[in-house]
Chains A and B, each alone.
Chain A
């Protein structure tokens, strides 16, 4: 039961998403540590830090790219915390995606507006189509198959599948989802 309540808590937080923040730091000892404190103080989880020592921004500062995970509503507090600490935030919230998964669609994919299907997946499922592979051995006006690789936020696969399923139902496409769960 302890496990379940822990999962429930994560869920009520709205899930954790991955973010990239670009910072400009003054080239002084201790600056990096000072810049990262607001992330940890506001409940962010540091994933990676790319410290471009050789590169200098036009203003003579060092660019640093920080990947972190946090619940969406806490992300604004993290950015605010950085600004309050006097850290120059160049870019925030350009999300990167934590998970990749593939689905296979079967049906009259091309005739049924393939690019429309892809943009609906991107808009409605909040996913990025990374790669598309189409097989239409009997011509594009017959039944064909498409494999679509999607980048999504960690822990959002259920919602993404739900959207893809409903788009499939609208367009009369069979959706073959990956089996998620267990150690399949």
Chain B
């Protein structure tokens, strides 16, 4: 397939980098100000080299991406809340011209799910968004394979930064502020970690899951969200007295979404350590399924995007 990639952050760049290995051509790669476009396939290495050197990706205008011949638009621009723009408009333009879309951007799927599905219904193209939930972990395709009707709930840990912080606090008996600074030094936490530690990032993923289970109806404002900023090291010590630990756990069902710090058995499946993610998919007829793995990172998330590209119907 011919991929047009919008967004040249970790995920967009990794998709461009790995596309060839998966048998696809990259015909466009754009960030918000510049683009490299070539209907015969761009020179990905050169574009990425320029970008990393601080130069424009290429000589083209990002708006021209939609004029070129492509099969799949990969939407990997940063997640925005509220109206989820400009991501939503990118998806709309692609669907209206009967192209497929694969999203790595959580915003449109969490905030404007019904609109996306309505646009898809009018289009020859399809949308897929495995990369928006749990990075490399096949969460949505597992739900899809079990059929959403047979899944009663999805629970788990879907934010590596918060999980890393809680794991270190429990292991070292340290307080939140101390471990956060360490996580920032290690590059696990961003300079502004608010979205990760206040639960918003995890909530967006569970909103997407609730939308898939219930076929729409949810956005971030429907979620009950609590973060981990108020959890002191002493709370983790007390939990350990009982063989438990604290994790930032999300839950999505057809009834709603809840994210917050919860007590879980110390040696239980959901008590993953470090930046690892896990989901427990509760099914009606087959008990619980657990999928665990790397929930973030450029190449990891890019594999989810490229798996989606592989699942799209040929056009």
A interface with B by C-beta (< 8 Å): 102-104, 106-107, 133, 135-137, 143-147, 149, 174, 176-179, 181-184
List of A residues within 8 angstroms of B282 by Cβ: 181-182
A104-B235 in contact (CB<8A): yes
Count contacts on B: residues with CB < 8 A to the other chain: 31
The residue in chain B whose Cβ has the minimal distance to the Cβ of A142 is B232
Alpha-carbon distance between A174 and B244 when the two chains are bound, in angstroms:
17
Task: Given the known inter-chain contacts A176-B231, A182-B282, please indicate yes or no for A133 contacting B263, CB distance below 8 A.
Answer: no
Chain B 255-288: CB-based contact to A (< 8 A → 1; otherwise 0): 0000011111100111000000000101000011
A179-B238 in contact (CB<8A): no
Interface of A is mostly: strand
Task: Given the known inter-chain contacts A102-B242, A104-B263, A174-B226, please indicate yes or no for A137 contacting B155, CB distance below 8 A.
Answer: no
List of A residues within 8 angstroms of B249 by Cβ: 179
B interface with A by C-beta (< 8 Å): 153, 155, 226, 230-235, 237-239, 241-242, 244, 246, 249, 251, 260-265, 268-270, 280, 282, 287-288
Alpha-carbon distance between A177 and B259 when the two chains are bound, in angstroms:
12
Task: Given the known inter-chain contacts A178-B262, A182-B288, please indicate yes or no for A133 contacting B234, CB distance below 8 A.
Answer: no
Partner of A184, one of B241, B242, B269, B287: B269
Inter-chain residue pair count (beta carbon < 8 A): 85
Task: Given the known inter-chain contacts A106-B230, A145-B238, A147-B239, please indicate yes or no for A177 contacting B262, CB distance below 8 A.
Answer: yes
Task: Given the known inter-chain contacts A104-B238, A146-B238, A184-B155, please indicate yes or no for A179 contacting B231, CB distance below 8 A.
Answer: no
List of B residues within 8 angstroms of A149 by Cβ: 242
Alpha-carbon distance between A107 and B230 when the two chains are bound, in angstroms:
8
For residue B180, give the distance in angstroms from its CB to the closest CB of chain A: 16
Alpha-carbon distance between A14 and B244 when the two chains are bound, in angstroms:
31
Alpha-carbon distance between A178 and B247 when the two chains are bound, in angstroms:
10
| Most chain B Cβ neighbours within 10 Å, of A103, A147, A177 | A147
The residue in chain A whose Cβ has the minimal distance to the Cβ of B230 is A174
For residue A19, give the distance in angstroms from its CB to the closest CB of chain B: 28
Since A103-B263, A181-B155, A182-B282 are in contact, a sample of 9 more A-B pairs with Cβ atoms closer than 8 Å, ordered by chain A residue number, is A102-B239, A104-B235, A104-B238, A106-B235, A149-B242, A176-B261, A176-B262, A179-B249, A179-B264
List of B residues within 8 angstroms of A103 by Cβ: 263
